[in-house]
Amino acid sequence: SQQGEEDPQALSIQEGENATMNCSYKTSINNLQWYRQNSGRGLVHLILIRSNEREKHSGRLRVTLDTSKKSSSLLITASRAADTASYFCATEETSGSRLTFGEGTQLTVNP
C-alpha cells in the first residue's frame, strides 16, 4: 500500500518559474527521500532529509520536513524544460529499511 500522498498529481509551469510539490505520510519515519523518474525509466535519487532535520538544500532543490504534520515539500527553483518528469516522495519507516513511495507528481515545464 502507498503511504505517501502527493499533491498536486500534475503540475504544468513555464520555464524559469518555481515548482512546489507536497507529500504527506502516515507513520513514524527515519527519513524522507525524493526521487525523479523520466518516462519509462528508473528512479534517480534527488535528496534525503532525516527526521531530525527541517530543511535541506541541494542546488536548485529545497526540501522541508514537518514531522508534526507528517508532511514534506520539494521546491525546484528556476525550472528548466529538462526538469519535466515524475517526482516521488518515499519514506523509510522506523520499523524497517524498505522505502514506501507516494503516487507521484507529474511535472511539465514548458519552454
Partner 1 sequence: DTGVSQDPRHKITKRGQNVTFRCDPISEHNRLYWYRQTLGQGPEFLTYFQNEAQLEKSRLLSDRFSAERPKGSFSTLEIQRTEQGDSAMYLCASSSLGTGRYYGYTFGSGTRLTVV
What are the residues binding partner 1 (CB under 8 A)? 2, 4, 30-31, 33, 35, 40-45, 48, 50, 88, 90, 92, 96-104
Q: Is 81 helix (H, G, I), strand (E, B) or coil?
A: helix
CA–CA separation, 32 and 30 (whole Å): 7
Return the number of the residue (15 or 22) whose C-beta is nearest partner 1: 22
Closest distance between partner 1 and the C-beta of residue 53, in Å? 11
CA–CA separation, 13 and 108 (whole Å): 6
| Residue 50: how many other CB atoms lie within 10 Å | 13
Closest distance between partner 1 and the C-beta of residue 98, in Å? 5
Return the number of the residue (41 or 80) whose C-beta is nearest partner 1: 41
